Amino acid sequence: MKKIILSALAAFFVSIAGFAQEIDSTQIWADLVESNLKYETGVIDLKDGNAKLTVPRGFKFLNKEQSIYVLTELWGNPADSSTIGMLVPENRGVVGTKSWAFTISFDAMGYVKDDDADDIDYSELLKEQQKEFEEANPERVKAGYQPIQFVGWASTPFYDKNKKVLHWAKELKFGTDSLSTLNYNLRVLGRKGIFMLNAVASMDELNEVKSSIDKVITSVQFNEGSRYADFDSNIDEVAAWTIGGLVAGKILAKVGIFAVLAKFGKVIILGLIAAGGFIWRLITGKRKKNEDENNDSSSNMEDAKVIE
C-alpha cells in the first residue's frame, strides 16, 4: 500500500513538474515574441485619414503589419487589412494573460451628420443589434468562426458634441467561452470619414480600459483641412451613416459579420508555439548555415595545404 501511495505521489509531482516546465516554455516564447515586436512612441503619421496620432502616456504603438499579425496569428481573429495600427498598454504587451489593446483603422465614409445624437433610443438599438448578431452567426460558423452573443452594453453609447467623438462598449460571448469579451468602441469624426479605435479586452479589464478613454480620444487629431469643422457642403460627400448608424454598425454586411474582435487564450498559446517553431527553425537554420560555412572553410584550407 505504501508503495502504491509513493508511486502515485511521484507521478503527481512529475506531472506538476511537466506542467511548470510547459508554463516556463510558454513564457520563454512569449518573451521572444515580445522582444521581436518593434514598438513606437511619440507622434505617428496616419496617412489614412490625414491625421496624426500622439501615442498617449502609458501606451506604445505597433504598425500595420505587426498589428495584423497579433490580431490573426496570436489572437485568432479573421484577417482585416483595414487595421493600420494598435495602441498597447506599455505594462501589458500582447501575449500576456492580461494583454489588451486598441486597434486603429480609418473608414473614408464621408462626413457623418450628428443631428440625431440626442434622439437615439439605445435600449431599442440594443435589442435590434442582439437580433442582428443572432442572424449573422450562421455565416460566421460557416466560415469557421465561433458564434457571438451580444450580452448587452458594457458602457452606454455617449456622443461628445464638442470633441466630435462617439464611444460605447459591448459585452460579448464567443461560442461556449465562460468569460465575456469586451469591445470598447471609439469613433473620431472628421471631414471625410472616421477613425475607429476599438479596445479588445476581457470584461474584467473594463475599468482599466475606461480609465484610458480620455487620453486615447485626444490622441488622434485630424490635420488642418480634414477636421470635422472643415466640412464644405458644396464639395464634400455626406456619409449614409448618422450617429445612430455608427453604433448600429454593419453587422449584416458581409465584412461586418467578422468586424467584432476577440482575444482567445488558446489561440495565443498555439500562436506562441507556431512562433516558437519559426524562431527555432531560424536558430537551427543559422546554426546549420554556420556549420556549412565552417566546413567549407576547413575544406578550402585543406585544399590549400595540398596545393602547397
Rounded CA-CA distance 279/263 in Å is: 23
> Higher pLDDT residue, 185 or 288?
185
How many angstroms separate the Cα of 127 from the Cα of each of 117, 133, 149, 152? 18, 10, 12, 9
Out of 46-55, 63-72, 257-266, pick the least confident. 257-266
Local confidence band at 262 (pLDDT 50, 70, 90 cut-offs): low
Look at residue 138 and give its three-state secondary structure.
helix
Q: What is the DSSP letter of 74?
A: I
- Model pLDDT for residues 139-180, shown as the tens digit of each residue: 888 888 889 899 999 999 999 999 999 999 999 998 887 788
| 269 pLDDT above the threshold of 90 | no
Residue 279 has a CB neighbour count (10 Å cut-off) of 16
| 197 pLDDT above the threshold of 60 | yes
Which pLDDT does position 33 carry in this prediction? 81
Task: For residues 28-34, give the mean pLDDT.
Answer: 79
Rounded CA-CA distance 60/165 in Å is: 22
Q: Are 150 and 168 in contact (CB under 8 A)?
A: no
Rounded CA-CA distance 274/121 in Å is: 46
Out of 54-68, 177-191, 246-260, 265-279, pick the least confident. 265-279
Task: For residues 229-238, give the mean pLDDT.
Answer: 97
pTM of the model: 0.74
> Higher pLDDT residue, 176 or 185?
185
Which pLDDT does position 164 carry in this prediction? 96
Looking up cell 442572424 gives: 135
Q: What is the DSSP letter of 158?
A: E
Buried b (16+ CB within 10 A) or exposed e, 232-242: eeeeeeebebb
| 138 pLDDT above the threshold of 80 | yes
Q: Are 151 and 171 in contact (CB under 8 A)?
A: yes
| Average pLDDT, rounded, for the chain | 79
Rounded CA-CA distance 181/84 in Å is: 22
| 231 pLDDT above the threshold of 70 | yes
Local confidence band at 303 (pLDDT 50, 70, 90 cut-offs): very low
| 2 pLDDT above the threshold of 60 | no
In the chain, the percentage of residues whose pLDDT exceeds 90 is: 48
